[in-house]
Amino acid sequence: MTDEDLITEVRDWLADNWEPVRFQDTHSNGPLIWRQMVHARGFAVPSWPTAFGGLGLTPDQSKLVETEFRKVRAPGSGQDRSQIGANLVMQYGTDQARTDLLEGLITGEFTYCLLYSEPGAGSDLAAVRTRADLADDHYVINGQKVWTSGAATATFGLLLARTDWDVPKHAGLSFLVCPMKQEGIEVRPLHQINGDSHFNEVFMDNVRVPAAYLLSTEGNGWKVMQKALAYERLIMGEGSAERARSKQSQDSRVDLVTLAKAHGRLGDASLRQEIAQAIAWRRLNEYNGQRAQAAVASGEASPLMSLGKLAMSRVLHNDTRIMREILGAQALFDDPSFADAQDMNYRSLHAYMNSIGGGTDQIQRNIIGERVLNLPREVEWDRDIPFRESQAVKPSGCSATNQMRIARQSG
């Protein structure tokens, strides 16, 4: 099929089937019905093999399908690029996991959360201590997670847990799909500085996960985790934190030119230069995102995703700085009577979500330095010793000299 034929086919199908009033009614099952229709037609994950509900299209053709959906504001397409849960299950899941989970994840019948970070394992994600012990046909999970978005309503959690304590930390991890609606799971909301409560603490006490819901194999969780983070960073590099817009704002992306006009500041040559630079950074990051998408489509966990995510953090923080400059003293107000100022203040605080989620800006700089610029790796004193031993001798109780000695001994 040529690109032109594909575009025509997608447009015709949307013209015949897309009914915004019906399928956007959140008080009915309209959104679910629509996503089921999109999935049945193969447009939800068009680059996937037909055996998994796709059309076997190229990544570029899949993007064409997504573009046509976006033109008419129809949801449901592009999940082969942006749906973390479904992509991981398709690539690493058992036949049972694919049968049980794929369709529900793609249609939105099932929702998921990300059970990665822990109080003692945030930037050093390989140091997670949540344990998964195999017992017959299921794993028993015990531990705690934090900064988990959507945990209270999620059907499943993508869980990074430790299955082996006697090998180096990266080698003892496994990745599972954990059913969230069961006894033993407690979710506590965390209140953010911007007034939202997107994040949660999750406590797991003897939680059961079917052994068939292990993704890849035991001990290969870090590889699966890297692919999951690649998808997350790609999404955040495209501005997912920005799309989770404030209650006051009608648009996810701030229009600096319109804002400057509204406040009589567009005549300021220096300000115009800053706005032009901000627009250029966005465009450059969009091009980098296209490179990253091509890498994901080819099966890579490319460090380009880190570059895009870091760049988007810079874009979001810089946009709010320019907004403050445009608004001047009015930026001090945070009240509905000053809608632009209230929006600016929300965005300013919300921008930190992009700087922290999916790996902090500092972690992205490490990845870029090591994997893009080929700079020497940062010393990790516990990288090559059994995780159980590393927990017995932590840096906080170990002098800098002894840390370096341990690092040399472990290679």
For the domain that residue 149 is a member of, what is the CATH number? Answer: 2.40.110.10
What pLDDT, on a 0 to 100 scale, did the predictor assign at position 219? 97
What pLDDT, on a 0 to 100 scale, did the predictor assign at position 397? 43
What pLDDT, on a 0 to 100 scale, did the predictor assign at position 239? 60
Number of domains in the chain: 4
The residue type of 3 is D
Contact 43, 35 (CB under 8 A): no
Q: Give the range of the structural domain holding residue 66, as residue numbers without chain letter.
A: 3-82
Give dist(CA 249, CA 74) in Å, integer: 21
- Do both 7 and 126 map to the same domain? no
Give dist(CA 58, CA 1) in Å, integer: 11
Query: Can you spell out the DSSP letters for 60-76?
Result: HHHHHHHHHHHHTT--S
What pLDDT, on a 0 to 100 scale, did the predictor assign at position 328? 93
The predicted model scores a pTM of 0.79
- Do both 233 and 340 map to the same domain? yes
In a domain, 59, yes or no: yes
In a domain, 400, yes or no: yes
- Do both 396 and 337 map to the same domain? no
Going by C-beta distance under 8 Å and a sequence separation of 6 or more, which residues neighbour residue 260?
A: 266, 268, 271, 272, 275, 326
DSSP single-letter state for residue 244: S
- Do both 233 and 359 map to the same domain? yes
- Do both 10 and 120 map to the same domain? no
In a domain, 27, yes or no: yes
What pLDDT, on a 0 to 100 scale, did the predictor assign at position 240? 54
- Do both 65 and 119 map to the same domain? no
Q: Phi first, then psi: give them for residue 162, nearest 5 degrees.
A: -100, 125
In a domain, 63, yes or no: yes
354: nearest Cα among 299, 405, 317, 391: 317
- Do both 367 and 390 map to the same domain? no
Residues of the chain with pLDDT under 70: 194, 237-252, 295-302, 392-411
- Do both 270 and 315 map to the same domain? yes
In a domain, 211, yes or no: yes
